[in-house]
Amino acid sequence: MTSLAQHVYGNIPVLRAPKWWKESCANVECSLHQLAPYIGKIKSSIAGDLIERYSNLGDLVVDPFAGAGTIPLEAAIRGRRAFAADISPYARILSQAKLSPPRTLQAALNRAALALSEAETLPKPDIESVPCWVRRFFHPKTLCEALRFAAVARRSGNEFLMACFLGILHHQRPGFLSYPSSHLVPYLRDKKYPRTKFPEMYRYRELKPRLLSKIHRTYRCFFNPLREKAIIYQSEIGNLDFPKRFDAVITSPPYMNALDYGRDNRLRLWFIDPSLEEPAHIDITQRRKAFVDAITTLATKVEKGLSLRGYCILVVGEEVQRSFRAHPAELVVNIIKRQTPLLRLRKVFTDSIPDIRRSRHEFKGVKTEHFLVFKRG
């Protein structure tokens, strides 16, 4: 154990994560996990292992920072009840879509066909009223189709279709709708793919076949979640009413000073709600305060509702070089000690994050994840 780990965790066991956590799960996981991209999300195999280790069949598992919905989906697939929330409308749509999908491929295709037909009947949108930064990503004809379909998909109950649409919104591959751009953080890649050399990448891309292909891929390896046992909210944790009693908390709070989820998802957020202002960059100081406030609130709610002998697992991103004096995991441990005296740290897993999972080009911030395993005494 390093002196830093000893300083933070004392005599608590600090263990290396199981080797198989590093193995790819893309070909064996439920393909609902691949519905749409989300930067910094936890691997489904790790989420599933934590659920199996620290909860039982029928337990209520809470994830108040649900993000892409990985943890609640794994909980529902594994016979647990799920209570999930996130402040982001994109996160809410993804979680709702994954936990309440059409039960069969044919049902999903039928629903898509109805939505596409309705979209075609809508008036032609005024392209000039769309912000310039949005227009830059699409052929005008593709943008018209996208605007019409998004208008239908925004309606309550259409979260699955909206998530499929957002999943093909931008990338450089032919199966996506935009001009060549990055997959996660939206920016055009016209320097790597200049229009003069790659004219085919700037042509009209029809929405319908790409959407239907996306739905087919989503059902390639489909496991039915227990959707009647899942509750999803869009809420900031301070305004969220937790269940009166729950059996486990398994969650990955937003990285304290590394990721800007609003900026990274700004194009998808605009299609979800065009009235939203383009997200402003949040500076490190603000993000640190938000992180501390969120963990403090979580600790208070866990103190009130976690069952006796229930577990609380917090996944905290760490850095090799930090811009704060405080270690993020150290902040979490100290807050839990202060706010939740009945919750005791039992063990810690550490897992290095390979470059492919850090997602952002040349991103050098978060290097490891610490899985803090607390148990109610």
Q: Are 245 and 83 in contact (CB under 8 A)?
A: no
pLDDT range class, residue 324, cuts 50, 70, 90: very low
Q: Looking at the predicted structure, is the pLDDT value of residue 357 above 50?
A: no
Pinpoint the alpha helices (H) of 88-139. 89-99, 105-121, 132-135
What is the layout of strands, in order, in the sheet containing 230-234?
Answer: 14-16, 343-352, 366-376, 306-319, 246-251, 60-63, 81-86, 230-234
- Mean pLDDT confidence for 116-141: 97
Cβ–Cβ under 8 Å, residues 193 and 172: yes
* Ramachandran angles phi, psi of 234, nearest 5°: -105, 110
CATH C-level class of 3-101+223-376? alpha beta
- β-bridge partners, 84: 63, 232
pLDDT cut 70: percent of the chain above it: 88
| pLDDT tens-digit map of 181-222 | 999 899 999 999 999 999 999 999 999 999 999 999 999 999
pTM score, whole prediction: 0.91
Q: Give the residue, 196 or 286, on which the prediction is more confident.
A: 196
Between 153-162, 182-191, 255-264, 329-338, the lowest mean confidence (pLDDT) is in 255-264
pLDDT given for residue 354 in this prediction = 58
| Tokens of residue 151, six digits | 């208008």
Quick: pLDDT tens for 105-126.
999 999 999 999 999 999 999 9
User: In 3D, which of 348, 359, 313, 358 has the Cα closest to residue 65?
Assistant: 313
Closest CA to 145 of 99, 194, 205: 205
| 46 pLDDT higher than 50 | yes
| pLDDT band, very low/low/confident/very high, at 322 (cuts 50, 70, 90) | very low
- What per-residue confidence (pLDDT) applies to 362? 42
CA 212 to chain centre: 23
Is residue 41 over pLDDT 50?
yes
Centroid of chain to Cα 233: 14
CA distance 148 to 163: 15
Does residue 94 register a pLDDT over 50?
yes
DSSP strand pairing (366-376 vs 306-319): antiparallel
Q: Mean pLDDT across the stretch 239-254?
A: 94
Q: Where are the domains of the chain?
A: 3-101+223-376, 105-218
pLDDT value at 267 more than 90:
yes
Please compute the mean of the pLDDT values over residues 334-344 and round it to a whole number.
Answer: 93
What average pLDDT does the structure give for the chain? 89
Percent of the chain exceeding pLDDT 90 equals: 72
Does position 358 have pLDDT exceeding 50, yes or no?
no
pLDDT in tens, 97-107: 999 999 999 99
149-177: pLDDT as tens digits: 999 999 999 999 999 999 999 999 999 99
